[in-house]
Structure 1
Amino acid sequence: MPRPYVVLKVATSIDGYIDDTSSTRLLLSNPDDFDRVDQVRADSDAILIGASTMRADNPRLLVNSEERRAAREAAGKPAYPLKVTVTKSGDLSEDLKFWHHGGEKVAYTTDAAAEALRARLGTLADVVSTGEELDFGALLDDLGERGIGRLLVEGGTQVHTAFLSQNLADEIHLVVAPLVVGQADAPRFLGPADYPWATTRRMTLAEVRQVGDVVFMRYLPKQESQAGPNS
């Protein structure tokens, strides 16, 4: 089965941060953009977040619009996309909201953590080991076998870095908010990694539009831009 089409979704400050260092989640988007994201979720077959994001934000990760859920069901799909997480350690509480809202869930982990995570979660999620380490290629293969055609990846830093550095992302949905964080220890969209093309290739910019007071940009990282620096 083919692997899913992978979309990375992120909102950052002007200086590239996805949050600040306070205990309160930094809201970078606005109501219009949250509604846009709800549509993107409704158009996806699965939504993925990493364990660090689950522990920090404790999201439900749902399609909030009743009309969009009804449209999914009318198209023969479940009301909610499959919810997916990845955890190397398996250290995820069974009390997190992620497990108790929406439809089916899958947790990808390692051989060392799988047994304990299965015992902790029980019937809350299907726990799948990708081997001795987290293998994102194996994760995509398994999702393809499950019939997932479009995967929305919502973070955080380590997960986005893994997908992009391993050339597994087909699109990037980047929103830039009119805020400056300026905190060296705050999390960024991407971390240091051996990216396959680094600074030698410009991505294709497929779309730009204003959504309220933020800017939405859609990049195609596997496609090289035809526009040179002097064009």
Structure 2
Amino acid sequence: MDVIVNAAASADGKLSSRRREQLAISGADDFARVDRLRAASDAVVVGVGTVLADDPHLTVKDDDLRSQRREDDRPGNPARVVVDSSGRTPTDAAILDDEATTYVCLSEAAPVDRRMALADHAELITAGEGRVDLLRAFATLQEEGLEQLMVEGGGELIFSLFEAGLVDELRLFVGPKIIGGRDAPTLADGEGFVSEFPTLELAAVDRLDDGVVLTWRVDDR
């Protein structure tokens, strides 16, 4: 399995403002790059916080890219995956529409009524007691035939994936904005590392829009 984290951050490393409102950090060229990466992936992964804040659809926008997937005998859109320990994903969330298969990864602590409600809209994966065991959940996704996963946030999930040693590559658009705020989300939130920091090997630097796309491979797996 290949796990690619893709994100857009301001020049000071913020994913959004302290209000956690979605901001346009990149432009049209980067949106097209993200769409191509989605189209090349088997699934797009987000945390429940991103679902609650942004209500993303996470489908391929370009008609030609969807057509190419179908010509390759693949669904027009990649699968969608929500990491949601307690089952907070609303049943009317855009990510649960019928445009693509959606998997919701739950922990054993998720209430039965939430499991039942979500089971009508998604494939459920249970892994872990109080929170989702990402190693087990991703192993199940691989058993489902999902080999390339594109992770689109948020910061809590991205940190947890680095902590679990699951990230293979990081692609980060750094845009020409200063957002600031000690409470604004960053690329990797969570508890933070105090030792054995993941290290990255720079693979590419590409200028795009008014920013740059930095591509790193994780070299301490």
- Normalising by the smaller structure, the TM-score range is over 0.9
Displacement of 1:89 = 1.5
* Aligned 8 A contact 1:6 1:150 in 2: yes
**Residue 73, structure 1, aligned to residue 78, structure 2:** no
Task: Give distance in 2, aligned partners of 1:175 and 1:31.
Answer: 12
Structure-to-structure mapping, 1:20-59, within 5 angstroms: 20-22=17-19, 24-59=21-56
Structure 1 residues 10 and 196 mapped into 2: Cα distance closer, same or farther (>3 Å)? farther
Letter in 2 for 1:136: L
Kept in 2, the 8 Å contact 1:165–1:195? The answer is no
Could you tell me which residue of structure 2 aligns to residue 203 of structure 1? Answer: 200
**Number of equivalences:** 219
Same amino acid, percent of matched pairs: 30
CA distance in 2, matches of 1:222, 1:129: 30
Give the RMSD, CA atoms, in angstroms. Answer: 1.7
Which residue of 1 is the match for residue 193 of structure 2? 194
- Could you tell me which of 172, 175, 178 is aligned with 1:174? 172
Q: Deviations over 1:57-90 (max 9, x none)?
A: 0111110011001100100111110100011111
Q: Distance in 1 between matches of 2:87 and 2:194?
A: 27
Q: Shift of the alpha carbon at 1:202?
A: 4.6
User: Which one-letter code corresponds to 1:193 in the other structure?
Assistant: G
Structure 1 position 214 matched with structure 2 position 211: yes
Correspondences of 1:128-167 after superposition (within 5 Å): 128-132=125-129, 133-167=131-165
Describe the SS at the equivalent of 1:119.
helix
Quote the Cα distance in structure 2 between the aligned partners of 1:167 and 1:196: 14
Unmatched segments (≥5 aa) in structure 2: none
Q: Separation in 2 of the partners of 1:177 and 1:101? A: 33
Q: Please give the alpha-carbon distance, in whole angstroms, between the structure 1 residues aligned to 2:94 and 2:205.
A: 33
Q: Could you tell me the TM-score, scaled by structure 1's length?
A: 0.90
Task: Determine the C-alpha separation between the residues in 1 that align with 2:34 and 2:96.
Answer: 21
Contact persistence 2:87–2:110 (CA under 8 A): yes
The aligned residue for residue 116 of structure 1 is: 113
Q: Deviations over 1:39-68 (max 9, x none)?
A: 000000000000000000011111001100
The TM-score with structure 2 as length reference comes to 0.93
Give the direction of change, closer, same or farther, for the CA distance of 1:170–1:196 in structure 2 (3 Å limit): farther
Please list every run of 5 or more consecutive structure 1 residues that lacks an aligned counterpart in the other structure. 225-231
The 1:173–1:105 alpha-carbon spacing in structure 2 relative to 1, beyond 3 Å, is same
